[in-house]
């Protein structure tokens, strides 16, 4: 029997062959379930078939890492906000995993309340989010969790405290208000979050058609995805998220105490109203370092103990105010 040493080229060829085999197996399973009612078990199968791919993605660095050496992965299919492009667009992974996208869309349409619309689905593995708000979202979000031998990991919200997400049904929450992931231990924790991204009108009509007709997304009316005129700025809500969650933990999960802390921040914000002269700045365009900027809000920022302005790059966004 002849033996030859494996060259780097041969190893790479073998790796690609195995990757193609895994891809074909995944597609076969997707076709098999194409006409069936989608269950959580199906989603787990699909997710674990994606695990090899997920492990090749760069770790999610924006939020807190989970202890114990677990890999953290997070990606979104459907509409995402892309700061690099200065607009909303369809994520690249949506095109890479078309059948998976269709399956997850069907899962949401079958399990969410009748008439629910959404543009995006985020899939998380072992992601423990810091207290934050989803500034790019509009309307309600819906979450469902999967886990084997997972202890903890519920969803904390300012409004309701800890929500249990492991079950047969989705749990709704307002992602534009403070929320976070509770600590967890044990096995792999997976979550699916369905929501509507802002500024659907920024998408090319062909992309909207692709989402609705080709992928099956139950899209809202484009005017319903415009950024709402919120009473409290996103900066202030982010501050409240950090303070309220810390109070919630320190008081051993006292929902009222956490809400009181947040309300204290909101109260200062409401009490310090800008003058009429300050408000004339809203909408003004100014130039700095050869870049045009547009002021969108004037408000009191308790951390600085002063009034501040929010502004954005007018050269990139024009009249389309970014999140």
Kind and range of the H or E run holding 185: strand 184-186
Question: When comparing pLDDT for 258 and 10, which is higher?
Answer: 258
* pTM (two decimals): 0.76
Residue 159: partners with Cβ closer than 8 Å, 6 or more residues away: 173, 174, 177, 259
- 117 plus 266 within the same structural domain: no
Least confidently predicted of 29-33, 67-71, 164-168, 312-316: 29-33
Identify the domain boundary among 225, 257, 287. Answer: 225
The pLDDT of residue 323 is: 59
CA angle 51, 57, 63 (to 5 degrees): 105
Spatial distance between the Cα atoms of 8 and 197, rounded to a whole number of angstroms: 44
CB 191 within 8 A of CB 145: yes
- 141 plus 50 within the same structural domain: yes
Identify the domain boundary among 193, 225, 257. Answer: 225
Percent of the chain with pLDDT over 70: 76
- 154 plus 127 within the same structural domain: yes
The pLDDT of residue 247 is: 97
The pLDDT of residue 165 is: 95
Q: Look at the chain and count its residues.
A: 323
Least confidently predicted of 45-54, 104-113, 130-139, 269-278: 45-54
Q: Across-strand partners of 306?
A: 301
- 48 plus 167 within the same structural domain: yes
Spatial distance between the Cα atoms of 49 and 52, rounded to a whole number of angstroms: 7
Q: How confident is the model at residue 66 (pLDDT cuts 50, 70, 90)?
A: very low
| Tokens encoding 133 | 């708000």
Residue 42's region, left for phi above 0, alpha for psi from -120 to 50, else beta, is alpha
241 is a domain residue? yes
- 220 plus 276 within the same structural domain: no
The pLDDT of residue 3 is: 45
The pLDDT of residue 5 is: 53
The pLDDT of residue 37 is: 64
CB 193 within 8 A of CB 174: no
* Alpha-carbon dihedral sign for residues 61, 62, 63, 64: positive
**pLDDT tens-digit series, residues 17-29:** 766 666 666 556 5
Can you tell me whether residue 255 is helix, strand or coil? Answer: helix
**pLDDT tens-digit series, residues 174-216:** 999 999 999 999 888 889 999 999 878 888 899 999 999 999 9
Least confidently predicted of 52-61, 181-190, 297-306: 52-61
Q: How distant, in Å, are the alpha carbons of 14, 16, 18, 30, 50 from that of 25? A: 17, 14, 11, 9, 11
Residue 10: partners with Cβ closer than 8 Å, 6 or more residues away: none
- 21 plus 104 within the same structural domain: yes
Question: When comparing pLDDT for 49 and 127, which is higher?
Answer: 127
Does pLDDT of 230 surpass 70? no
When the pLDDT of each residue in the chain is averaged and rounded to a whole number, the result is 82
b (16+ CB within 10 A) / e for 139-170: bbbbbbbbbeebeebbbbbbeebebebeeeeb
User: Highest mean pLDDT: which of 18-27, 123-132, 269-278?
Assistant: 123-132
4 is a domain residue? no
Identify the domain boundary among 194, 225, 256. Answer: 225
The pLDDT of residue 1 is: 43
Number of domains in the chain: 2
- 248 plus 131 within the same structural domain: no
| Tokens encoding 318 | 């024009």
The pLDDT of residue 128 is: 94
Query: What residues make up the domain containing 63?
Result: 16-225
CA 242 to chain centre: 18
**pLDDT tens-digit series, residues 137-180:** 989 999 999 877 899 999 999 999 999 999 888 999 999 999 99
Burial (0-12, 13-18, 19+ Cβ within 10 Å), 69? exposed
Q: How confident is the model at residue 64 (pLDDT cuts 50, 70, 90)?
A: very low
Does pLDDT of 231 surpass 70? no
Average pLDDT score over residue span 79-87? 75
Residue 42: partners with Cβ closer than 8 Å, 6 or more residues away: 33, 36, 103, 107
């Amino acid at each position: 029997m002849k033996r030859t040493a494996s060259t780097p080229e041969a190893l790479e060829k073998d790796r690609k062959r195995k990757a193609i085999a895994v891809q074909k197996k995944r597609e076969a399973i997707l076709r098999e379930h194409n006409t069936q009612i989608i269950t959580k078990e199906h989603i787990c199968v699909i997710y674990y078939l994606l695990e090899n791919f997920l492990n090749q993605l760069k770790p999610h660095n924006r939020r807190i890492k989970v202890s114990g050496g677990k890999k953290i992965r997070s990606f979104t299919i459907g509409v995402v906000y892309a700061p690099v492009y200065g607009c909303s667009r369809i994520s690249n992974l949506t095109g890479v995993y078309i059948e998976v996208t269709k399956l997850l869309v069907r899962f949401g349409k079958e399990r969410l309340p009748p008439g629910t619309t959404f543009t995006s689905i985020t899939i998380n593995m072992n992601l423990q989010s810091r207290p934050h708000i989803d500034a790019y979202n509009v309307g309600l979000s819906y979450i469902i969790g999967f886990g084997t031998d997972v202890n903890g990991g519920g969803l904390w919200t300012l409004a309701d405290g800890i929500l249990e997400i492991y079950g047969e049904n989705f749990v709704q929450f307002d992602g534009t208000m403070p929320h976070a992931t509770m600590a967890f231990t044990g096995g792999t924790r997976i979550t699916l979050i369905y929501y509507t991204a802002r500024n659907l009108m920024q998408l090319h009509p062909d992309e909207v058609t692709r989402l609705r007709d080709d992928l099956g997304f139950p899209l809202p009316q484009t005017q319903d995805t415009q950024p709402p005129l919120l009473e409290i700025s996103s900066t202030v809500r982010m501050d409240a998220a950090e303070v309220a969650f810390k109070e919630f933990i320190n008081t051993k999960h006292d929902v009222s105490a956490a809400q009181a802390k947040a309300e204290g921040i909101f109260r200062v914000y409401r009490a310090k109203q800008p003058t009429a002269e300050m408000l004339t700045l809203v909408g003004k365009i100014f130039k700095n370092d050869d870049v045009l900027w547009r002021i969108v809000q004037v408000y009191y920022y308790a951390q600085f103990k002063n009034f501040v302005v929010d502004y954005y790059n007018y050269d990139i966004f024009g009249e389309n105010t970014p999140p």
